[in-house]
Amino acid sequence: MNHLRTTCFCFLATLLAPFLGWGGTNGTLEGLIRVKGTGEPLVGAHVMLSGTRLGGSSDENGWYTVGNIPAGSYSVRVSIIGYQTQIVNDVRIKPDLKTRLDADLLPTLVETEPVVSTGFRPPIQKDVTGTVYTQSSDVFTALPVASVGEVVGLQPGVTMENNIRGGKTTEALYLVDGLPVQNLLEGGAGSEIPQSAIGEMAIQTGGFDPEYGNALSGVINVITRRGSDTAKYDARAEKDDIFGGQQVDHRNEVDISAGGPVAPDVFYFASIRGVHTDSRWWQDMRRFFDSPIERDYNGFGKMDYLPSSSVRISLQSLYTYSKTHDYEYSWRFNLRGLPDRDQQGYRIAAILSHAVSQSFYYTASLSRYQMNYDINSGPRGSVDTTMYQWDFYLRYVVGGDRAWWARKRQITELGKVDFTWRIDDHHLLKFGGEFNQQNIFSDVIRFEPQLNVFGKPFVNKPMLDFSTDYRYYPRSAAAYLQDKLELSRDGMLLNLGMRFDLFDPRAERPLAEVVPQGGNQYATQIVGTVPASVKKLFSPRIGFAAPFAASGYLFINYGEYYQFPLFDYLYSGLNNVSLQKGVGVLVGNPDLKPEGTRSWEMSIKYALRDGVVLSGTYFHKETTNLIDVKTFVPTNSSVAGDYGFAEFVNNPYARSSGLELSVVRETGKHLRGSISYTYMIAEGISEDARSGLQYYEWGLQVPAQPFPLSWDQRHTVKVVGTVDLPLDLSLSVLWVFHTGRPYTYFPSKDGFTPEDSSLTFQPNNARMSDYNVMNIKVSRTFTLTADPPPATTITAYIDGRNILNAKNVLWVDSGGKVGGELGDLSAWDPGRRVRFGIRLEF
């Protein structure tokens, strides 16, 4: 009956998929059109967005609304017979949000030239109750950043590794045009896109709406560029070793894009990016491998067809390829013994956007995303599972190969639609859902030496076997409903939403018994299986916004969020042959519960003159059902190393809270930027899903009380500024400072025994030194021709990272020594790096 109910539900979900959805790529333009001087409303004035067929007309109150607008910057034309036409350039439409643009038209008896102005951007976004930061593609031109991850790291509450508000890096959801590009096996983003393909970015660090699921800490939505009536081309080249030197990575990057019309009502956009580098470790790597050591290629293309002003059909493809080679300082004399890695990602998608009326529109999408992840390009049978050779002091690996070979595949087929319906002047209803079908495959051979708490290997003990082999077909579905209740047009808003998630792992959990064989020997017997249950989750989202002064607003948000476990945690080691032999260290648990977070935040924003905004936000998060490992066999068992049967379980707990303060000036002459300060506490009883196994490996008790997590950055200051200099130069400065992060102080004289046997092991009981880095970018744009428009320009720039060459510490050993006994250079952040680039737009 359970199987029958599950099958019926999934069949119904499949049928309903075309009527469910997920938005996040379009915005709304609205405002008042009045007679200049009298303020009387103008009825029937036309509002058109250049390069599109999108537009609308003002009603009897002079109010207009244009919905379903792809995120980006537009020129808006406002016109009516008998009045002077007004054109407003650089009007920015943000995903999921409203942009207000009012127009006052001057009566005229004769036709005159239009009045042209630059779009006014409201300093405070009133219709969002959570924390959202939007960035246009200009951020890559202006600032010393080169990737989506680096832009995310600029935001308050985000650490340098992109832990968002105290969460793990795997807790963020990455989207491209509202469609996920998630690595479901290991977490994080599975693909990148060329810098030139990025049009807008929406970075949500808290209080995201119910249309977004499978995320605990943040949602990053990248909106791609589109072709228009005008053909545009862009080429960029960048190097870091033009003038030689040692502080280089021998990094070469090329990024090319093109877009424009193909035929009437058909537009294209395509871009490709390639990066070759020898990495930070080129001095060691070049002794073993030819240049380039690492290769990255990204490609993106789309075709848009506009059969009418209300319909847009988009076909797009995304491709990512990365080839790298592992590097570890202790292997520097035997780097050929480490495996190489290949990662490929493909996505094809079809998106239909249809505005049924000015008050009702929807977006429907179908996509297929595949990730291939390979470790060790050699054949499966070539893996040597014996212990590799160490030097006499157990410091460097001098011979042998790491026993690690993997072939992993992830295929996600997704169908979704998002509906938006403005019922009246007060209610904006959004509803929809999604259906996912997964095809997950993993074949891994991996053996690792047992280590003590100080990182020293036990060369005389058997290797730990982390091998696995599985294929499963899980699926999930979701539906959501949200009502944005606009209580007044001055910004008072009540956001009510509910999300329902369903996850079917489609696997059986083995019932295993560990039977004593005598002489501390054990054998694992499978006595039966139990079907993993279908997980059903409801998560409410509530937000409120209200003005408390002429230019001040209060925002409050509460939400519950869930994230399904990574598939490796569900399925690893479930092969019955492996279980019968008892050779696997870790066994997956397909009945794991989704991890859950309860979060609330309150923020105050106040707009000063000249576009300066002051804001303060307090947040608090509690996360439960985090995943860790529990062992079920005494540690003196000789089966599977010294551990026998260990399984992923739900247990650990984490909490974080913090205060974010910022001063922001997005637009203006001469100086733009932000200053932010974050005080944050991140505590838990586990740092990752394998922490429990490490404690058993070390012979230590699992912590019972929360301790500071490794990414617990208590005090963080970020300064991001752009200054207009003489001679048309532009200078951007990025400065980041944070106080020391925790590490575990548990010193040893010989690497095998504690220096003080009476000292109790306490995780992260000490702090490293403070972190301080400054990056700069200097650029100048030369206009070659502006006739006919748009202009042809060349931009030359210098991008300097860690320009002060600061020696920032990333890790220390248990005795507090930076880089440990080897003086491992990876313990320091990279030193100064300077990139030189040129960009051509025409």
Structure confidence by residue, pLDDT tens digits, 250-301 = 999 999 999 999 998 899 999 999 999 999 999 999 999 999 999 999 999 9
Q: What is the mean pLDDT of residues 752-772?
A: 90
Residue 105 predicted with pLDDT over 70: yes
Judge whether residue 358 has pLDDT over 70: yes
What pLDDT does residue 258 have? Answer: 96
Q: What is the pLDDT, as a whole number, of residue 396?
A: 93
**Burial class of 460 by CB neighbour count within 10 A (0 to 12, 13 to 18, 19+):** exposed
Mean pLDDT of all residues in 493-497: 94
pLDDT tens by residue, 141-191 = 999 999 999 999 999 999 989 999 999 999 999 999 999 999 998 888 999
The confidence score (pLDDT) of residue 637 equals 34
pLDDT at 15 over 50: no
User: In the prediction, which pLDDT does 679 show?
Assistant: 97
pLDDT-derived band at 17, boundaries 50, 70, 90: very low
> pLDDT: is 127 or 378 the higher one?
378
Q: Of 85-94, 332-341, 368-377, where does mean pLDDT reach its minimum? A: 85-94
Q: What is the mean pLDDT of the chain?
A: 87
Residue 335 to residue 289: CA distance in whole angstroms: 9
Range from 7-11, 226-230, 313-317, 801-805 carrying the lowest mean pLDDT: 7-11
For residues 402 and 412, the answer to whether their CB atoms sit within 8 Å is: no
pLDDT (0 to 100) of residue 515: 64
**3-class state of residue 761 by DSSP:** coil
Give tens-digit pLDDT for 23-53: 457 788 888 899 888 888 888 888 988 877 7
Interacting residues of 647 by C-beta distance below 8 A, sequence separation 6+: 586, 587, 588, 589, 629, 630, 632
Rounded mean pLDDT, 444-464: 88
pLDDT of 789 reads 62
Please check the confidence at residue 125 and state whether its pLDDT lies above 90: no
pLDDT given for residue 641 in this prediction? 36
Mean pLDDT of 661-673: 89
The predicted model gives 298-316 an average pLDDT of 92
**Of 354, 356, 374, residue with least CA distance to 364:** 354
- Distance, in Å, from the CA atom of 476 to the CA atom of 13, rounded to the nearest integer, reads 9
Residue whose C-alpha is closest to residue 808's, from 842, 768, 838, 780? 768
Percent with pLDDT over 90 in the chain: 55
CA dihedral of residues 630, 636, 640, 641 (deg, nearest 10): 110
The domain covering 2-118 belongs, at the CATH homologous superfamily level, to: Carboxypeptidase-like, regulatory domain (2.60.40.1120)
Q: Give the per-residue pLDDT at 757.
A: 82
pLDDT of the residue at 524: 59
Give dist(CA 359, CA 66) in Å, integer.
9
Residue 463: the pLDDT is 86
SS3 149: helix
- How many Å separate Cα 768 from the centre of its chain? 27
252: helix, coil or strand? strand
Q: Three-state SS string across 33-99, please? A: EEECCCCCECCCCEEEECCCCCEEECCCCCEEEEEEEECEEEEEEEECCCECCEEEEEEEECCCCEE
Burial zone of 116 (CB within 10 Å; 0-12 exposed, 13-18 middle, 19+ buried): exposed
Q: How confident is the model at residue 309 (pLDDT cuts 50, 70, 90)?
A: confident
The Cβ-side half-sphere exposure at 47, using a 13 Å CA radius, reads 31
Which range has the worst mean pLDDT, 107-116, 343-352, 437-446, 732-741? 107-116
The pLDDT, as a whole number, for residue 783 is 87
What does the pLDDT average to over 548-567?
Answer: 92
**pLDDT at residue 633, as a whole number:** 45
Note whether 299 and 271 are within 8 A (CB).
yes
Residue 253, token pair as written in the block: 């990057």
| Gap between the Cα atoms of 715 and 70, Å rounded | 38
Q: Where do we find the tokens 């999604």? A: 434
The C-alpha atoms of residue 310 and residue 492 are separated, in whole angstroms, by 30
Distance CA 424, CA 421 (A): 9
How many helices (H) and strands (E) the chain has is answered by 7, 48
Q: Quick check: 404 and 442 in contact, CB under 8 A?
A: no
Selection from 564, 560, 565 nearest residue 538 by Cα: 560
- Three-class SS of residue 582? coil
> Which amino acid appears at position 96 of this protein?
D
Q: How many CA within 13 A on the CB side of residue 675?
A: 4
Q: How far apart are CA 411 and CA 317, in angstroms?
A: 15
- Reference 75, options 35, 116, 43, 34; nearest CA is 116
**pLDDT tens digit sequence for 403-452:** 999 999 999 999 999 999 989 888 889 999 999 999 999 999 999 998 88
For residues 348 and 316, the answer to whether their CB atoms sit within 8 Å is yes
13-17, 485-489, 686-690, 822-826: the lowest-pLDDT one: 13-17
Greater model confidence, 722 or 633:
722
Distance, CA of 225 to CA of 198 (rounded, Å): 6
Q: How much of the chain exceeds pLDDT 70, in percent?
A: 90
C-alpha to C-alpha distances, 267 to 55, 90, 256, 264, nearest whole angstrom: 19, 21, 18, 8
Cα separation, 149 vs 482, in Å, equals: 29
What SS3 class is residue 512? strand
**How far is the C-alpha of 418 from the C-alpha of 112, rounded, in Å?**
42
Instruction: Name the pairing type of β-strands 654-665 and 646-650.
Output: unpaired
pLDDT digits (tens, 9 = 90+) for 230-262: 899 999 999 999 988 899 999 999 999 999 999
